[in-house]
Amino acid sequence: MTISSRGLERAWELYQDRLSYARVMASQGKKVIGYFCCYTPVELMTALDLVPYRIGGRTDEPVKEADAYLETCVCSYVRSAFDLAICGEYDFLHGLVVPHTCDAMWRILNIWKLHKPLDYTYFIEVPHMVGPSSCHFLEQELKLFKKSLEQLVGRKITEEALRDAIDTHNRARALLQEIYQYRKADPPLISGTEIARVLAAGRGIPVEEFNELLLQVIHDIRTRDSESRRKKPRVLIYGGEVDDPAIIELIEECGAAVVMDDLCTGSRSFWEPVKLKENAMESLAAHYVDDIRCPRTFRPGKPEERFQYLLDFAREFNVQGIILYLYRFCDGHALEAPGLKAYLNRKGFPVLHLEEEYTLLTKGQLRTRFQAFIETLG
């Protein structure tokens, strides 16, 4: 594997080689633990020198074998990810952690275990409600998860090690926030495609390496000037597990600059840091209950309260239009979308609401929809 010294190029290479990179780590004795969703407390894995690997699918390949094991009503992201597992692409995983985030996540672990047994699996019950009792419940859940990981590795996580791991992940969150600030320039100093590649690279490497990569990326960006770039309509993309940079690239090919996101694989997973208090486990639980704005969590309040954060994003990043890019069979987003669209329209933002499969094998129709929308933003 050739590693470029330049951050953005290296990010692209790491993303493209993510599976082989993970295999190398596994062959060198690292325990690579797959996980789904931004609700898995990766800090606990990092504290034990385990390598958390965010499970993804492939939008550039059709599902080959998973259809024999998963019903047609299951979202195509989960189907694609499981297909990779069935086809052996995830054989390097030592274990798999699944948080109860949505109905598909609730079911997938047992199916995975039956057809692809792993040395270690764990299911975390994550509350769907917010509030003190939910935080306390999740803290107890995470203590058991911690205990389970300790048994896997054969040593305890000290308070100091956990605080260090949280600090390291918070460092990644802060660096990503810094990179996102460069999107505010018009034209932005880093494209949406480049950021998507950086984020994708980070999902398969240890967080310490990711932090080095992020510093390199920041260095790259600082040497750029925005004057030489062309101004384009600025859009925000909202959705779930949009983990393939090719989707962002397609939007940008159609003439827009993707300057902000609210995606499970984007800002949603890092925008808020873990607010470390005296008790690290308590801080971790509070973070994973309160700070991640996925529609899988019920938050009381009218649309004005629930979606204010998105309006803030749109205004802060000077967005002209918003794309709701949702996957079919994702109930959380599907039930949120009409109300969210109406709210954003009321606030003066044009919205393109798409319900798509997790595939880019046929881009033509999607390209037409993006082009038509971007033209209206002119």
For the CB of residue 133, give the shortest distance to other proteins in the complex, in Å. Answer: 4
State whether the Cα torsion 112-58-76-291 is positive or negative: positive
For the CB of residue 44, give the shortest distance to other proteins in the complex, in Å. Answer: 17
Which candidate, 63, 57, 69, 56, places its Cα nearest to that of 110?
A: 69
Nearer Cβ to other proteins (51/124):
124
For the CB of residue 78, give the shortest distance to other proteins in the complex, in Å. Answer: 9
Q: CB of 25 within 8 A of CB of 6?
A: no
**Cβ atoms within 10 Å, residue 133:** 11
For the CB of residue 360, give the shortest distance to other proteins in the complex, in Å. Answer: 20
For the CB of residue 110, give the shortest distance to other proteins in the complex, in Å. Answer: 5
**Cβ atoms within 10 Å, residue 140:** 12
Nearer Cβ to other proteins (114/361):
114
Contact footprint for other proteins (CB under 8 A): 68-75, 100, 102-104, 106-108, 110-111, 113-115, 121, 123, 125, 127-129, 131, 133-134, 136-137, 140, 144, 295-296, 298, 300, 302-303, 306, 328-329, 331-332, 334-339, 341-342, 353, 355
**DSSP calls for 106-169:** HHHHHHHHHHS--SEEEEE---SB-SHHHHHHHHHHHHHHHHHHHHHHTSPPPHHHHHHHHHHH
| DSSP letter, residue 34 | E
Which candidate, 92, 377, 125, places its Cα nearest to that of 258?
A: 377
Q: Which residues contact 50 (CB under 8 A, 6 or more apart)?
A: 30, 31, 32, 33, 94, 149, 152, 153
Nearer Cβ to other proteins (312/331):
331
Nearer Cβ to other proteins (203/296):
296
Nearer Cβ to other proteins (108/259):
108
Per DSSP bridges, beta strands 95-99 and 257-262 are unpaired
Residues β-bridged to residue 63: none
For the CB of residue 335, give the shortest distance to other proteins in the complex, in Å. Answer: 4
Nearer Cβ to other proteins (140/158):
140
For the CB of residue 373, give the shortest distance to other proteins in the complex, in Å. Answer: 16
Nearer Cβ to other proteins (3/342):
342
Nearer Cβ to other proteins (100/197):
100
Q: How far apart are CA 148 and CA 151, in angstroms?
A: 5
Q: How far apart are CA 172 and CA 194, in angstroms?
A: 17
Tokens 């300057």 sit on residue = 259
Alpha helices in 226-358 (DSSP H): 245-253, 280-290, 303-306, 308-316, 331-346
For the CB of residue 163, give the shortest distance to other proteins in the complex, in Å. Answer: 24
Q: Which tokens in the block code for residue 362? A: 């046929």
